[in-house]
Amino acid sequence: MKHLFLLALLILCSAGYAQQPYVLVLGTAQDGGYPHIGCEQSCCEQAWDDVTKRKFVVSLALVDPGQKKWWLFEATPDIKEQLRLFASKTNHEFNFLPDGIFITHAHIGHYTGLMQLGKEALNSKNVPVYALPKLRLFFNVHGPWSQLVQTKNIRLQELNEEFPLTLTAGVIVTPFKVPHRDEYSETAGFKIITPQKRYLFIPDIDKWAKFEKDIVKEVRAVDVAFLDATFLSGDELSNRNISEVPHPLVSETMELFKNESNDTRSKIHFIHFNHTNPLLYDVGVRKKLMDQGFNITEQALRY
């Protein structure tokens, strides 16, 4: 009898846990994806040959099973496959399209997937798209994005830096400004708060020194921090000066956290890998990084 009671309790607890909001990673590569257009170097060779080694462009799904809702972060060139990946990983228990799409900035890997929602493809109805003011203006003014707005395939939603947006009870998204090459729009990072976990999402940023927040403090304050890992080190760029590369090298980020506790370092999950970054494919390099307590974000995993 006692055993039965314990079993019932266990089932109830795990059912409750299954209802908790979580983040599902739908892509980890830099804007150009992996393998990369035109690359016949050793970095991409194996991914051309073996489709299971391919990685989609950086994207997250925020899922609230209790409310049967979900939100997509970034509309990437791989959105077709990513929506399928989401449906299969969640046993088709949610709507095919998300309850909203959050976009960080107007570089091709982060927003051009919206085109699949237009007349020529899905012809969706009023999908909410959350963007900061300059990015909203970009969508409103420039075709083909303005056509998505006019034909009501998407509905632009107001988003302002440092203004928290409550999605469902206890699930809150707060955008903040991030320094980056801002040709067409500003660039956002997102803090995602759920009743159990806090997440930070900064897929693209110039050097940490230009960031108005202290990244070490920001990481300490969350459970999981998905951070820009475009390049591991200067070795990947034989023809460019490291100081001119508008990304924090993974090696620089690791240096910044070297005196932090193992607990803090383990909160960092690197993401947004350029095809040249050996963290995508080199087992030895990956192990060396993980031995120091850091993590590498994996596509199709829950966090």
- Taking residue 219's Cβ as centre, other Cβ atoms within 10 Å add up to 22
78 binds Zn ion (CB under 5 A): no
Token pair 């391919």: residue:
54
- Residue 138, SS3 per DSSP: helix
275 binds Zn ion (CB under 5 A): yes
Could you tell me where the DSSP H helices lie in 178-235? 215-220
The C-alpha atoms of residue 214 and residue 149 are separated, in whole angstroms, by 37
Task: State the minimum distance, in angstroms, from the CB of residue 220 to Zn ion.
Answer: 25
39 binds Zn ion (CB under 5 A): yes
Please identify, using beta-carbon distances, which residue of 31 and 186 lies nearer to Zn ion: 31
Please identify, using beta-carbon distances, which residue of 128 and 179 lies nearer to Zn ion: 179
Task: State the number of CA atoms in the 13 A half-sphere of 129 facing the CB.
Answer: 33
Please identify, using beta-carbon distances, which residue of 56 and 94 lies nearer to Zn ion: 56
Please identify, using beta-carbon distances, which residue of 194 and 230 lies nearer to Zn ion: 230
Please identify, using beta-carbon distances, which residue of 78 and 204 lies nearer to Zn ion: 204
- Of 275, 272, 293, nearest to 26 by C-alpha is 272
Contact code string over 199-228 relative to Zn ion, x by CB under 5 A: -----x------------------------
Q: Which of residues 103-162 bind Zn ion (CB under 5 A)?
A: 107, 109
31 binds Zn ion (CB under 5 A): yes
Candidate ranges 25-33, 143-151, 215-223, 232-240; the one touching Zn ion (CB under 5 A): 25-33
The C-alpha atoms of residue 60 and residue 200 are separated, in whole angstroms, by 11
Pairing, β 268-271 against β 224-228: parallel
Candidate ranges 21-29, 60-68, 124-132, 267-275; the one touching Zn ion (CB under 5 A): 267-275
Which residues touch 103 (CB under 8 Å, ≥6 apart)?
A: 73, 74, 75, 110, 111, 129, 130, 131, 135, 188
- Residue 224, SS3 per DSSP: strand
43 binds Zn ion (CB under 5 A): yes
44 binds Zn ion (CB under 5 A): yes
Task: State the minimum distance, in angstroms, from the CB of residue 245 to Zn ion.
Answer: 13
Judge contact between 187 and 106, C-beta under 8 A: no
- Of 209, 218, 233, nearest to 264 by C-alpha is 218
The pair phi, psi for residue 6, each rounded to 5°, is -65, -40
Candidate ranges 5-13, 35-43, 66-74, 125-133; the one touching Zn ion (CB under 5 A): 35-43
Query: Count of residues binding Zn ion (CB under 5 A)?
Result: 10
Please identify, using beta-carbon distances, which residue of 94 and 190 lies nearer to Zn ion: 190
The C-alpha atoms of residue 1 and residue 8 are separated, in whole angstroms, by 11
Q: Which residues bind Zn ion (CB under 5 A)?
A: 31, 36, 39, 41, 43-44, 107, 109, 204, 275
